[in-house]
Structure 1
Amino acid sequence: MNNSRRDFLKKGALGTTAIALSGGVSGAAANIMESRTTKIPSASHFGAFHAHVRDGKIVDITSQLDSDANPTVLVKSLADRTTNNSRVKYPCVRKSYLEGKGKGELRGKEEFVRVSWDKALDLVANSIKKAQEKGGNKALYNASYGGWSHPGAFKPNTMAGRFFNQIGGAVRTSGEYSNGAAGQVNPTLVGDMEVYSVQTAHEQIIANTKVMILWGCDMYKTQRVGYSVPNHRCYDAYEEYKKAGIKFISIDPIYTVSASEFKADWIKIRPGSDVALMLAMMNYLYKSKKYDKAFIEKYTYGFDKFLPYLLGKEDGIEKTPKWASKITEIPEETIKQLADTMVSNRTFIAGNWSLQRAHHGEQVDWSIITLASMLGQVGLPGGGFGFSMHYEGGGDANSGKATVGGMSQGGGDKVNIAIPASRMSDLILKPGHTVTYKGSKIVYPKVEFMLSAGGSPIGHQPDVNELIEAMRTLDTLVVVEPWWTPSAKMADIVLPATTTLERDDVAGGMSYSNDRIYAMKKIVEPVFESKDDYEIFALLAKRFGKEKKFTRGRTPLEWIERLYKRSYAKKEMGISFEEFWKQGVVKYEIPASARKFVRHEDFRKDPIANPLKTETGKIQIYSDKFAKFNYKDFKGHPTWFEPAEWLGNKKLVAKYPLHLVSPHPTYRIHSQLDNTWVQNVHKVQGREPIRISPNDAKKFGVKDGEIVEVYNDRGSLLAGVVVTDTIRDGVVAIEEGAWYSPEESSKTKSRCNSGQVNVLTSSRPTSQMAQATTANTVLVSIRKAGTIKPNLAYQPPKIIGA
């Protein structure tokens, strides 16, 4: 690894700087080449782009600069998505499954056999019918999660859901990994999930904010990708943030890209102790009488019920700065100074999503909301809190106009069982088990059949080894994917899907600005024998006599036109579908009033006329609804609960002395793009990097650039060492999303040769309330790797007949 790349990683410059690609053709030859090249507009989770196609092959990808203000290198990585070596070329079936032996314990251990589409689809349909005969539709599990594989209307998870609903439904997912804890709690607290809500406009932050708290929030890093199509205009706003003289404070065990860009003061908090810090600040503000008593009385409910806990009258432990200092390892005076700084200035608290992906993660947003209420700035320009400033243009002004929606999953689900996202392994391994969820109970059915489309469970589900154990108990596992992902290699039947570049689709621009519609035109023909998800599930529906109900007799392009006709562009601007499809994009104007938007401003101006959608119409510092659940690990008010794994647990630390966090990836969306060339900038000897402080590197005897083994009781993996002073002592970081690759697939709990961090994370739920993931509550140790083998994560399995 060269020095410049090593410095790039050490400094934490995680991809907002462009990585240039040079060409070698010039002059007359270039003109000839250009005349043979077709330029086709499309869009992706990484930005809008033009594909340059010559002789049926993609020769370059360039950003649509009028739509993408600050393009990132990620869009370039799309160029090899169609011909990547890890493509699933044909329908494939695991050998012993095809032979009718069907031993689940051989999943992930044996070769596949190439079969025809008819044979593969018949096998899938028959396995579904077999499961239905055993346990009805409750025996079917649609594990197709999220919509991150495509930004358009034909998302694989939607197509899968639409199919299952035609045949009576299946067990499905409730909530999500991104915001599984906060998403279940915030609506009761403030009447809205908040994590996906339109944020206070950048213009109001620039004009009014004096202090911005980056509470685990890394805007520069995570804004590079989007659920729809990002425009990256936020980076221009961030430059204005700097010019405005806003004071930034980063509370994080990592000195993030954003902290570096904003030259933020760094509070090196101990992971998992954020709620204790917030409670101590609240205690200090109350006892010093610096909190906004008038705001609390007018706009919140239950402060009087929360106060006994804060003052220690409820449990005998007063939540003072001295108390929190021992937990957080932040000096008592620093805690007081932080509270003073926030209460005496117009302060905006930018929360994030990773903090609630931890044990008792429900408490984090609740505590931030309560702290912001005591500061009394909720609803003021540039003040209050926001939980989505780091996500797909959070802070962008909103057009207020309809773009295009997606395909509907339709009705027909008679199963009506939705399990929390992180309970996948539990569902499969514990039939008949009862789990609590949001005050109610769910009884797991006996699952026989599982299907995953457009996502890799061995990538987002915690405790990979537990998940593999669960997968091997199923009767049938089907994966619909363009690539031989870790989950595809574990399947019985693999159906090859097209990529975004091999199908027509349509997408809206930005979750927040809603100011563009993009034609996502087919760039190249489907490679090998791959088919669109729409066609795959229509063919499956046909085997159940439901094809017409699934397709409604429409082609994909007819669906796209139907969706477009509902948009503002067609209804109000009068732009025909033919004109839109030809030009490739429609742009909306952003009204000046949108740049004045302040979240919760109407509520603040008149809480009677504009109540929140909560129990009382106010901010719920205390919730009677939650208190009635009577959960031991979730109360009626914000509470500090000690995590099961953290640096304060002396017994565990003696064995596993490092706290592992798994931030959002640098050059991927979760596991997407891990099999592309862009990862070469990031990987260390072909493995995922592990960031470690100089003191800890010396303590464990590891050196920059070498491969080490990271391990705990759940598993082990190989990672490449990056020694950096941008991470707190006692903490290491491995970004999530590397493709799992067991060194010896025949062995249980084989070491992962690639660095898939979920080998180490726990499937422990956040609490009885949300049952969400706790991926950031992990202790590990490291040691020399010993003999290592080549990393085969991106190689297809052996295929008979290919």
Structure 2
Amino acid sequence: MSKKSEEKSFIKGLGWCGFGVGSNSASVDVKDGKVIRIRPFHFDDEYAPEDMKPWKIKARGKVFEPTMKSLLPPFSIAYKKRTYSPNRIPYPLKRVDWDPNGERNPQNRGKSKFVRISWDEATDLVASELERVQKKYGPLSVLAQADGHGDTKCIHGPHGCQTKLLNIMGGYTLQARNPDSWEGWYWGAKHVWGQDPVGQGNQNNLWQDVAKNTGMLLYWGCDQETNTWGWSGQQASRLSYWFTELGIRSIYICPDLNYAAAVHADKWIPVNPNTDAALQFAIAYTWIKEDIYDKEYLATHAHGFDEFKKYVVGEVDGIAKTPEWAAPLCGVPSRTIKALAREWAEVATTIVHCNGGSFIRSTYSSEPGRLEICLLGMQGLGKPGRNQLKMIEWGLFGMDSQVPHPRAEVIPNASGAYNGMFSDMPQQFIPKTLIPEAILSDTQISWHGTTLNSSPREDQFIEYKYPIDDGGTEIHMIWTDTPCWTTCWNGGNKMIEALRSPKIEFVLAQHPWLENDCLFADILLPINTKLEEEDFSVDQFSGQFHQVFYEGQCMEPLFESKSDYEAVCEVAKKLGLYEEYTKGKSVEEMIQSGYQVCGIADKISYEEFRKKQYYVVPTAEGWEDDPAGFEPFCQDPESSPLQTPTGKLEYFSTELAEYFPDDEERKPVPQWIPYGESHSESLLHPRSEKYPFLIVSNHPRWRVHANMDDFTWLREIETCKVRGADGYMYEPVWINPIDADKLGIVNGDIVKVLNDRGMVLGGAYVTERIIPGTVYQDHGARLDLIVPGECDRGGANNLIAPGQIMSKNCAGEVTSGYLVDVEKADINELKANYPEAFARKYHKDAGIVIDSWIEGGV
């Protein structure tokens, strides 16, 4: 803590999806009411190390232990730039040509500018529209977009403050958040090994298991250097270095030599997008033919392996899945496939993931998701050193055992202080991946599964409908506090069409920044950032210590901004529901409620907690003896069965056979599906003649999803943005030199990335870190629309991702591994064709429009 009298220091920390200051604790230094720096928090400022009981993992003569300071990612250190961004929404805004008493002009959403109004006028309009729409169509006519991908808060969010008010008013329709980063495991792996909630494996004590027992780590589609920044800070990076020090081989299997692979890989095995299943089948074939898999294990731990084996060797379809068969499909030489298979069989191997990528967020990704588990089972899943490791921990779901690192005495949760997100499942909902279809369809739609990442496996066989049969209605109003659908989900241009539908009479967005879906709102409410609020939170993700925080208000709210909670309170006042909504509780009382139920009340008094502002949960005694991963199942599958119908690894899914016997896209036994009824996103499909590249679109290196694209410090980095000849900072498009040469593209050129769904621009980054025939562009870039629904300058490639769900009965997203073409762009031609878009003025560092979406400027 700063000792200077003229400065104050506040503690900030985050729970899940830490888009504010990372999901580690941070010290925020304030001088004269202005945030001057954000820096790591030193635990031993107030605590003696012996009070925290720091853990130590001892393996192979070396020791790994937590640091005594938080491991902040760059996002955290730079977050003050987000708070002071020139892109902040300064005051309530109304779209200039939206008249609630006249023409609403929905077709102009995304085109029209906004005009300043007061909070009083804004909340009058919101309250009257809520009452009008619900009276005319019923309560379910209001869609609440209230899920992740935003500034993480607790009392003042994190998201869903409006759902409490809508429940009081009689209900609403929920946008049901899909598994997102876990799609293939959710829709596929669950049917092999159970593993609710999202289908990834049991993480118990795996850091120690890997350190002591693993000989090889397969980072399959994994970039832990990037994907953990917004959640776990730098701990995954430390861990990767330590595994290398221990002599554990690190193999990266991915189309791109990503940031982690560039630093940690002993070998990079580049694989074509959407073809991991071919590689996996070829590994299984090698094991079967060379008799180097664990037959004794499978005899007692697996169901239906013989059916799987028949498919692998070609008895089902006449195609043996040999390395020679797989090599031209996946781009990995047959000799490499065989060498990988043999080494995997010889040494204890663990597969490593962080969150998704092309591997797990593409077409038919249920297949590689479950094939991964089939391979792990063939080598004795749960034996020492043979598991699936997730590089960030499972605190999100509050499961005491689901931590790969040493267990804490308590896994705290902040549910007692939440003002949103944890409402009961409403009567009517729509999967997030199906929102555009639901709005644009003239008939009732149906699907299977709630798609919520916390739903159990058996929910995937239940059919749901929109509108529901009994009392259902179409939606006619959208209230969003997560306005990034177009830049983060599947088929953003289709979503733009839906947002401009005359069915949607009113769009209300509340957000700190004027970006992305906010451009399609009728009313905008200005929201605070974390640094402007007093809050309560927990950190379950850092991998060092579990912590609970009182988060002081670091600065006064900028402009006329309020918190999400306060904004909804203002609407509740106009509806006469304020007392019922707040239950008479102050922020201080909500902080105390959070403390009472989070799990630490018997460890530290509230008075001491408020004085110190945080509590570090000590490491649990005896954590070293906790079983690792699937060890209990491995040792005794009868007494420790899996969460599958048979209690075993299901190579033949009994439930898929029972419920979806005619589904050719997700059969009881995993299949190789390059394309099918739902998708043609394959280089083997004739469509690839027109669109000859597959695009890899991972979680971004220099953002967290669609957050932080206006960080001026980060935009100076070469792989963050590419400055075009016109001075504009374009989202990088990685292109292999072989492809670039054929296309006449050089480093720094402006390029078009296009398909039959539209076009986005980018800046060429010519590099051998991407394989030929594939291009790479991160997802989540800020919208900078040239023509809404057609083309975008900012590089938001989710706009041109497929609008369809993952497969026939899997309502998951497809946001990577789809077909595109790439062309060199002529800036003069673009300016001539789109003079208005290319005449905009931009902030020279942040790259955002400064001639403003606000009529008359700010």
Unaligned runs of 5+ in 2: 44-67, 396-401, 449-459, 468-473, 724-728, 832-837
Q: Is the 1:708–1:719 contact (alpha carbons within 8 Å) kept by the matching residues of 2?
A: yes
Q: Distance in 2 between matches of 1:591 and 1:296?
A: 35
Provide closer, same or farther for how the CA distance between residues 270 and 744 of structure 1 changes in structure 2, counting only shifts above 3 A.
Answer: closer
Match of 1:714 in 2: 757
Match of 2:822 among 763, 782, 785: 782
Confirm or deny that 1:461 pairs with 2:524.
Answer: no
Instruction: Indicate the larger mover: 496-505 or 285-294.
Output: 285-294
**Matching of residues 560-709 of structure 1 within 5 Å:** 560-571=591-602, 573=603, 575-591=604-620, 593-595=622-624, 597=626, 598-628=628-658, 629-630=660-661, 631-643=663-675, 644-649=679-684, 651-677=686-712, 678-681=714-717, 682-685=720-723, 686-709=729-752
Deviations, residues 24-54 of structure 1 (Å, cap 9, x unaligned): xxxxxxx9x9432212221252232222212
Match of 2:200 among 152, 174, 195: 195
Q: Distance in 1 between matches of 2:170 and 2:189?
A: 32
Q: Distance in 1 between matches of 2:542 and 2:81?
A: 30
Tell me the SS of whatever aligns to 2:716: helix
CA RMSD of aligned residues (A): 2.5
Q: Distance in 1 between matches of 2:276 and 2:131?
A: 49
Q: CA deviation at 1:188?
A: 3.9
Match of 2:564 in 1: 533
Instruction: Indicate the larger mover: 718-727 or 122-131.
Output: 122-131
Match of 1:441 in 2: 463
Confirm or deny that 1:55 pairs with 2:32.
Answer: yes
Tell me the SS of whatever aligns to 1:206: helix
Confirm or deny that 1:798 pairs with 2:854.
Answer: yes
Q: Is the 2:515–2:782 contact (alpha carbons within 8 Å) kept by the matching residues of 1?
A: yes
Match of 1:428 in 2: 439
Deviations, residues 480-516 of structure 1 (Å, cap 9, x unaligned): 1011012111100111111111111122223374621
Match of 2:783 in 1: 740
Q: Distance in 2 between matches of 1:286 and 1:206?
A: 29
**Number of residues paired by the alignment?**
762
**Structure 1 counterpart of 2:6, one-letter code:** R
Q: Distance in 2 between matches of 1:263 and 1:801?
A: 50
Match of 2:108 in 1: 106
Provide closer, same or farther for how the CA distance between residues 701 and 737 of structure 1 changes in structure 2, counting only shifts above 3 A.
Answer: same
**Structure 2 counterpart of 1:783, one-letter code:** E
**Matching of residues 404-419 of structure 1 within 5 Å:** 404-406=413-415, 407=418, 409=420, 415-419=426-430
Match of 2:47 in 1: none
**Structure 1 counterpart of 2:551, one-letter code:** M
Q: Distance in 2 between matches of 1:371 and 1:428?
A: 41
Q: Is the 1:478–1:491 contact (alpha carbons within 8 Å) kept by the matching residues of 2?
A: yes
Q: CA deviation at 1:69?
A: 4.3
Tell me the SS of whatever aligns to 1:180: helix
**Structure 2 counterpart of 1:648, one-letter code:** L
Confirm or deny that 1:178 pairs with 2:181.
Answer: yes
Tell me the SS of whatever aligns to 2:80: helix
Normalized against structure 2, the TM-score is what?
A: 0.84
Confirm or deny that 1:357 pairs with 2:389.
Answer: no
Tell me the SS of whatever aligns to 1:81: helix
Match of 2:71 in 1: 70
Confirm or deny that 1:524 pairs with 2:526.
Answer: no
Q: Distance in 2 between matches of 1:153 and 1:277?
A: 47
Q: CA deviation at 1:200?
A: 4.2
Match of 2:515 in 1: 485
Match of 1:26 in 2: none
Q: Distance in 2 between matches of 1:326 and 1:489?
A: 45
Q: Is the 1:156–1:453 contact (alpha carbons within 8 Å) kept by the matching residues of 2?
A: no
Normalized against structure 1, the TM-score is what?
A: 0.90
Provide closer, same or farther for how the CA distance between residues 148 and 606 of structure 1 changes in structure 2, counting only shifts above 3 A.
Answer: farther
Tell me the SS of whatever aligns to 2:747: coil
Confirm or deny that 1:551 pairs with 2:582.
Answer: yes
**Structure 2 counterpart of 1:40, one-letter code:** F
Deviations, residues 370-411 of structure 1 (Å, cap 9, x unaligned): 0110111x1123212235559899733231403232326599
Q: Distance in 2 between matches of 1:770 and 1:130?
A: 36
Q: Is the 2:252–2:265 contact (alpha carbons within 8 Å) kept by the matching residues of 1?
A: no
Q: CA deviation at 1:93?
A: 1.0
Match of 1:6 in 2: none
Provide closer, same or farther for how the CA distance between residues 262 and 391 of structure 1 changes in structure 2, counting only shifts above 3 A.
Answer: farther
Q: CA deviation at 1:185?
A: 4.1
Provide closer, same or farther for how the CA distance between residues 544 and 613 of structure 1 changes in structure 2, counting only shifts above 3 A.
Answer: farther
Provide closer, same or farther for how the CA distance between residues 137 and 599 of structure 1 changes in structure 2, counting only shifts above 3 A.
Answer: same
Deviations, residues 664-723 of structure 1 (Å, cap 9, x unaligned): 111211111112212232211111111111111111111112222221111112211111
Q: CA deviation at 1:241?
A: 0.6
Deviations, residues 180-212 of structure 1 (Å, cap 9, x unaligned): 342244444323234385354322212211011
Match of 1:731 among 765, 774, 779: 774
**Structure 2 counterpart of 1:155, one-letter code:** G
Q: Is the 1:673–1:679 contact (alpha carbons within 8 Å) kept by the matching residues of 2?
A: no
**Structure 2 counterpart of 1:93, one-letter code:** K
Instruction: Indicate the larger mover: 541-550 or 125-134.
Output: 541-550
Q: Distance in 2 between matches of 1:155 and 1:312?
A: 53
Q: Distance in 1 between matches of 2:422 and 2:761?
A: 45
Q: Distance in 1 between matches of 2:698 and 2:532?
A: 31
Tell me the SS of whatever aligns to 1:373: helix
Q: Is the 2:534–2:553 contact (alpha carbons within 8 Å) kept by the matching residues of 1?
A: yes
Q: Is the 2:252–2:268 contact (alpha carbons within 8 Å) kept by the matching residues of 1?
A: yes
Q: Is the 2:674–2:682 contact (alpha carbons within 8 Å) kept by the matching residues of 1?
A: no
Deviations, residues 545-601 of structure 1 (Å, cap 9, x unaligned): 443332221122211211111233322x1x122322232221122236434551111
Q: Distance in 2 between matches of 1:791 and 1:615?
A: 60
**Matching of residues 112-261 of structure 1 within 5 Å:** 112-146=114-148, 148-172=150-174, 173-192=176-195, 193-195=198-200, 198-226=203-231, 230=232, 232-261=234-263
**Structure 2 counterpart of 1:332, one-letter code:** S
Tell me the SS of whatever aligns to 2:10: strand
Q: CA deviation at 1:443?
A: 2.6
Provide closer, same or farther for how the CA distance between residues 410 and 210 of structure 1 changes in structure 2, counting only shifts above 3 A.
Answer: closer
Q: CA deviation at 1:68?
A: 4.3
Q: Is the 1:86–1:483 contact (alpha carbons within 8 Å) kept by the matching residues of 2?
A: yes
Tell me the SS of whatever aligns to 1:35: coil
Q: Distance in 2 between matches of 1:394 and 1:732?
A: 35
Q: CA deviation at 1:149?
A: 1.9
Q: Distance in 2 between matches of 1:318 and 1:237?
A: 39
Provide closer, same or farther for how the CA distance between residues 174 and 708 of structure 1 changes in structure 2, counting only shifts above 3 A.
Answer: closer
Q: Is the 1:683–1:720 contact (alpha carbons within 8 Å) kept by the matching residues of 2?
A: yes
Q: Distance in 2 between matches of 1:732 and 1:414?
A: 40
Q: Is the 1:168–1:412 contact (alpha carbons within 8 Å) kept by the matching residues of 2?
A: no
Instruction: Indicate the larger mover: 155-164 or 486-495.
Output: 155-164
Q: Distance in 2 between matches of 1:127 and 1:626?
A: 45
Q: Distance in 2 between matches of 1:536 and 1:649?
A: 51
Q: Is the 1:38–1:53 contact (alpha carbons within 8 Å) kept by the matching residues of 2?
A: yes
Instruction: Indicate the larger mover: 778-787 or 308-317.
Output: 308-317
Q: Distance in 2 between matches of 1:626 and 1:134?
A: 42
